[in-house]
Amino acid sequence: MTHILSEQTKEALDEKTRNHPCYSGGCQNARIHLPVAPACNISCNYCSRKYDCVNESRPGVTSEVLNPDQALKRYIDVKNKFKNLRVVGIAGPGDALANFEATRKTLELIREVDPEITFCLSTNGLMLPLYAADLVELGVTHVTVTINTIDPKIGAQIYREVNYKGKRLTGEEGAEVLLENQLEGLKLLISYGIIVKVNVVMIKGINDKHIENVIKTVKDLGVYISNIMPLIPAPGSAFEHMPLSTNIELNNLRKACEVHLKQMYHCRQCRADAIGTLDNDCSIDFRSNINNSTPETKNTANNKTFTVAVASHSGRVIDEHFGHVKEFKIYSCEAGSVRLIEERQIKQYCTGPEECDDEQLKLENIIKSIEDCSAVLALRIGYLPKTTLEHKGISVIQTCGLIDEEILKYALEQSI
């Protein structure tokens, strides 16, 4: 049954979508992810939900889990700092609907203080048929559902188990129940007028040749946009050693799917506690349990001198993708002391979907500019530059922590 929306409601939804950084094509409004949902009801082979970690930038990671009252306080603190805050999202670190009471209470508390804020959440879709109507009542207007396959045989390779209504389901049985609920949930959300984005994790050798079928299926159901994301092989997961997709492979797949459905090219695969704009995650400024460097750490890392190149826009935290860097900050670490030596201008490696990963000469020039460095610290880096740097003997560290702390950690690891 399709619910008829008034013109006024449609206009309001259109405005919220234009102001949503994920759905709009990357507008510069801020968003906040509130990590109030620690439990998950499925086990994915690519997931490792280690959530007490400030050094990773990927979905499912947070430095702490908040209760609804703490989430409200954080929202108010962030709202006071970011006048362009437009979206509250709940994206884990588990599944928003596997923790529905905490999700519901958080949204209710925030709605009391801000009637206009946009509510958005992410889910694997297992519980969507049960809670779709509740999401409408809570004022949720945008929902992201991760659907990696429409074939239970492929699903059996991706999902280790599905926990549904007290039953532990594995193999094709579990994947089939998950898929049925995902598709039924999509139909319900769209019938209620909720704007839906479908995320798909591209896993080479498993679902990469099948993703276009996923996109065709969800397009026919009325999904607004899809986001094909590269697998991030999380340490400790079953897919820890799976091969990475290059940006060329990823963007070629997006282009093939764009014939059927609008594609998202600007995803940052954000943490479950992300804050700020897509290009500038400030969540570290609001964390209550940042582990500062201790004198013991500094003293242990005092035997050698290290020179490292840092990808940082802010100059405080490691917040820039390797491919977006126009200027590397070069630091020296000696006797447990970190200092900025210089800033080196370079020609940006990735200037658009057509140029990532195939500009070998540009990459060689970048490496020449930092060949005296023993490591590069960046928020994210593509497969080709990562492997090329490592082949040259330059370590690559993907992190989003404070610059001084991350350099000291690197120096400590080299001293052990």
Assess contact for 124 and 178: CB atoms under 8 A: yes
Q: What is the DSSP letter of 298?
A: H
- The amino acid at residue 28 is Q
Tokens of 21: 């950084």
178 has pLDDT over 80: yes
Backbone torsions φ then ψ of 70, nearest 5 degrees: -65, -35
What is the Cα–Cα distance from 78 to 51, expressed in whole angstroms? 21
Q: Which 3 state secondary structure label does DSSP give 349?
A: coil
pLDDT of residue 297: 42
Query: If pLDDT is split at 50, 70 and 90, which confidence band does 54 have?
Result: very low
For residue 378, the cross-strand partners are 398
What is the Cα–Cα distance from 273 to 291, expressed in whole angstroms? 16
Element (H, E) at 162: strand 159-164
Higher-confidence position of 356 and 105? 105
Lowest mean pLDDT across 250-259, 297-306, 335-344: 297-306
What is the Cα–Cα distance from 117 to 12, expressed in whole angstroms? 12
293 has pLDDT over 50: no
Q: Chain-centre distance of CA 184, in angstroms?
A: 25
CATH number assigned to the domain covering 292-415: 3.30.420.130
User: What's the mean pLDDT in 131-139?
Assistant: 94
- Any idea which fold 7-284 has? TIM Barrel (3.20.20)
Tens-digit pLDDT profile for residues 359-368:
667 788 888 8
User: What's the mean pLDDT in 111-124?
Assistant: 92
Higher-confidence position of 4 and 251? 251
pLDDT of residue 131: 95
Lowest mean pLDDT across 30-39, 340-349, 351-360, 392-401: 351-360
Starting at the edge strand found earlier in the chain, the sheet holding 327-334 runs 337-345, 327-334, 305-310, 375-378, 395-398
Q: Quickly count helices (H) and strands (E) in the chain.
A: 12, 16
Q: Please spell the DSSP secondary structure of 22-75, one letter per residue.
A: TTTTS-S-EEEE---B---SEEETT-----S-TT--STT--S----HHHHHHHH
Q: Which 3 state secondary structure label does DSSP give 254?
A: helix
pLDDT of residue 324: 85
46 has pLDDT over 80: yes
Terminal CA-CA length for the chain: 63
User: What's the mean pLDDT in 343-352?
Assistant: 79
Q: If we measure between CA atoms, which residue out of 333, 313, 326 comes closest to residue 375?
A: 333
What is the Cα–Cα distance from 398 to 401, expressed in whole angstroms? 10
Q: What is the DSSP letter of 40?
A: -
Most confident residue range from 41-50, 52-61, 143-152, 337-346: 143-152
Q: What is the DSSP letter of 246?
A: P
pLDDT of residue 159: 92
Lowest mean pLDDT across 107-111, 275-279, 332-336: 275-279
Backbone torsions φ then ψ of 176, nearest 5 degrees: -70, -40
Tokens of 193: 């007028």
Assess contact for 194 and 223: CB atoms under 8 A: no
Q: Which 3 state secondary structure label does DSSP give 341?
A: strand
pLDDT of residue 335: 75
pLDDT of residue 148: 95
Residue extents of the structural domains in the chain: 7-284, 292-415
What is the Cα–Cα distance from 363 to 384, expressed in whole angstroms? 9
